[in-house]
Structure 1
Amino acid sequence: MAAVVAPAVLLLWGVSVPGGYFDVLVAALVAWSLVGMAWLVVGVSNVVALPRPRRRRLGRLWPLLLVPTVFAASWTAASGDLVGRATFSVHRSELERVAVEEAATPSLGHGDVGLYSFESISRAQGCVLFGVRDPGMARGAGFAWCPGRVPMNDDAEGFVFEPFDGDWYVFLVRHGLWKNRFQGARPWGLQITELNTRTPT
């Protein structure tokens, strides 16, 4: 039962940023597959090992229900924007501190803030953009801090901005820059079909 903790945590961590972390999500899916196979083997062997009549003794196997319960709960939580919003609220003050520093003296380039790992921190359109390192469900994704302004979608580059919280926006550059730039991945949540179409680098 303890084996479900690692894949559940990896899955939730993988969707904590817009576009998700590719490597973390793949590790979570592999770990869940391994846990699922082990659960199936253990479940079948325990049912076979029950003395007859088995129906009366199936109640002893209630711990086997924990794996599918944790799987369903983590998958449900990872599919929405709950994890992303909660993680952002924890790191918001530190992100704003970094954004103010970058706006004053553009020099940071990239860095980590808590659970966030950014491949770039830059300025554009009067905003500070935090580009997520190795997003899994989009070509590019991240946060934009735009105090007092609304960023414009950039058709040439395929940037699509979505209001998030106050002066904060999330942005995506979806896979298929030209043909699919306004449909496809959503900013938040686990989207397996978009993970499969990841653009090779």
Structure 2
Amino acid sequence: MKWRGASLCVAAAAVLPASLMLYGVCVPGGYYDFVVGALWCWTIVGVAWAVIGVRWWRRDPPDSRWRLWPLAVFPFVLVVSWWTASGDLVGKATFAHYRADLEQLADRASTNDDTRVGPYRFRSRFYMDGCTLYSVREPAMAVGSGLAWCPGVSPTDHIWDEGEIFEKIEGDWYTFVMPFGDTPVDPWGLQVTRIDSVGHV
């Protein structure tokens, strides 16, 4: 019974890193604290899952091993959340939901103060070359990243001073990233090999 309760706890605990990971990739470039926190939580819960699974497998007779079913929840949640976080689904769905709020914010005076819109935490918001740029606070996979609203202009038509790379979302909206070094980075989704602690420690 003790091991059964522990396996249920591990299954429930998988929700935490999954939530952190999905929240962490809801913005271009991701949130460093949430993405790294999710990876650490996955590691801790994964170790607990392996220890409980091995000990329970050794203790219980073969005809009662069906009770291991709660342990199947962890790999299922891991695979589904990792697959979802690796694409652009979360980021684009978040943007679509908050697009009107972002456009209203762009109409206000520019500011370098922290700004929040739903799950978005912007370090600064400024106007440059016909675009309003929303710079994400502490991105995980780029030196800088964010959103750009460029009504009537295309930011991809010229080279930017800070090396920003723009990608169209829809309409007048774009993402931008400033990658670490010369290695390209996708603005959306989890890219573990692109995570860098520069500026976060």
TM-score by length of 2: 0.89
* Residues 95-133 of structure 1: per-residue CA shift (max 9 Å, x gap): 1110112xxx33464311110100011001111100000
Which residue does 1:62 correspond to in 2? 69
Which of residues 144, 147, 150 is equivalent to 1:146?
A: 150
Aligned counterparts of 1:108 and 1:22: Cα–Cα separation in 2: 20
Which residue does 1:191 correspond to in 2? 191
Aligned counterparts of 1:108 and 1:198: Cα–Cα separation in 2: 23
Structure 2: 5+ residue runs without aligned partners? Answer: 1-10
Aligned counterparts of 2:188 and 2:26: Cα–Cα separation in 1: 8
C-alpha RMSD of matched pairs (Å): 1.5
1:92 aligns with 2:61: no
Aligned counterparts of 2:194 and 2:120: Cα–Cα separation in 1: 21
Which of residues 103, 118, 140 is equivalent to 1:136?
A: 140
1:81 aligns with 2:88: yes
1:36 aligns with 2:15: no
1:47 CA displacement: 0.7
Kindly indicate whether the alpha-carbon contact (under 8 Å) linking 1:7 and 1:32 is maintained by their aligned counterparts in 2: yes
SS in 1 for 2:151: coil
Aligned counterparts of 1:90 and 1:200: Cα–Cα separation in 2: 29
Kindly indicate whether the alpha-carbon contact (under 8 Å) linking 2:138 and 2:199 is maintained by their aligned counterparts in 1: no
Aligned counterparts of 2:161 and 2:130: Cα–Cα separation in 1: 18
1:174 aligns with 2:187: no
Distance 1:45 1:30, change over 3 A: same
How many residues were matched structurally?
A: 189
1:198 CA displacement: 4.1
1:159 aligns with 2:172: no
